[in-house]
Amino acid sequence: MVRYFRRWWVDEEGKKRIARIVKEANAARETARATIREPDLLDARLAEIKERQVLLTKKARRWSKKTTIIFKDLAGDVHRLEGFTDDRVTQSFCTNLEHLIDRASCGEALDADLVRWVQKLPAETRKLLAEVHLLDAGRAAGARALVDQVEEFRAALVAKGATAAHAQLTANRAKAVVEGCGFKGYADVSPAKVLSYLAGIRSEHFAGGRKRKGVGLQSSNWYLQAVKGFCKWMIRERRATDNPIAHLEGFNVRVDRRHDRRALTLDECRRLIGTTQKSGKTILQMAGSERSLLYRFALETGLRWNELRTLKCGNFTLAGDAPTVTVEAAYSKHRREDRQPLRRETAALLADYLAGSDARAPAFGMGSACNKAVRMIQADRLAARTAWLREALPDVDELKRRAKTDFLRYKDAAGRVMDFHALRHTFITNLCAAGVHPKVAQALARHSTISLTMDRYTHLSVDRAADGLMALPSLDAPKAEAAEIRKTGTDDVALVKAPAPAGTTARFLQRDRIFTAISGHSGTQNGDSERELETSGIGAKTLENPRVSTRSELEAAPGFEPGMTVLQTVAFIHLATPPRADRTAE
Give the model's pLDDT for residue 301.
Answer: 92
Q: Burial-class residue 166 by CB neighbours within 10 Å (0-12, 13-18, 19+).
A: middle
CA 542, 545, 549, 552 torsion-angle sign: negative
Range 95-116 average pLDDT: 79
Give the model's pLDDT for residue 525.
Answer: 45
Residues 256, 216 contacting (CB under 8 angstroms)? yes
Give the pTM: 0.55
Q: Which residue from 227, 225, 198, 192 is spatially nearest to 214, judged by alpha carbons?
A: 198
Q: Burial-class residue 103 by CB neighbours within 10 Å (0-12, 13-18, 19+).
A: middle
What DSSP letter does each residue of 99-122 carry, written as one string? HHHHHHHHTPPP-HHHHHHHHTS-
* pLDDT greater than 80 at residue 197: yes
How many alpha carbons fall within 13 Å on the CB side of residue 272?
Answer: 30
Angle at 448 between CA 446 and CA 454, to 5 degrees: 80
Angle at 240 between CA 114 and CA 173, to 5 degrees: 150
> For residues 192 and 183, what is the distance between their CA atoms, to the nearest angstrom?
12
Residues 198, 214 contacting (CB under 8 angstroms)? no
Range 510-517 average pLDDT: 52
Highest mean pLDDT among 50-54, 114-118, 329-333, 566-570: 50-54
End-to-end Cα separation, the chain, in angstroms:
97
Q: Which domains does the chain have, with CATH numbers?
A: 2-141 (no CATH), 146-255 (1.10.150.130), 266-466 (1.10.443.10), 489-585 (no CATH)
Give the model's pLDDT for residue 490.
Answer: 52
Range 555-571 average pLDDT: 47
What DSSP letter does each residue of 192-243 carry, written as one string? HHHHHHHHHHHS-EEETTEEEPPP-HHHHHHHHHHHHHHHHHHHHTTS-S--
242 to 184, 187, 232, 574, 582: CA distances (angstroms): 17, 10, 8, 90, 75
Angle at 433 between CA 431 and CA 435, to 5 degrees: 75
Secondary structure class of 391 (helix, strand, coil):
coil
422 to 90, 295, 333, 343, 455: CA distances (angstroms): 63, 11, 17, 20, 15
The string of pLDDT tens digits covering residues 436-473 is 898 998 888 888 888 888 877 887 766 666 666 777 77
DSSP class of residue 286 equals B
9 beta partners = 62
What DSSP letter does each residue of 301-337 carry, written as one string? H---HHHHHT-BGGGEE-SSSS-EEEE-TTTSTTSS-
Q: Which residue from 359, 304, 299 is spatially nearest to 332, judged by alpha carbons?
A: 304
The string of pLDDT tens digits covering residues 162-194 is 888 889 999 999 999 999 999 888 878 889 999
* pLDDT greater than 60 at residue 45: yes
The string of pLDDT tens digits covering residues 112-169 is 677 777 777 777 787 788 778 787 666 555 556 788 889 999 999 998 878 888 899 9
Lowest mean pLDDT among 159-163, 369-373, 574-578: 574-578
* pLDDT greater than 80 at residue 532: no
The string of pLDDT tens digits covering residues 224-278 is 999 999 999 988 887 777 888 999 988 877 666 767 889 999 999 999 999 999 9
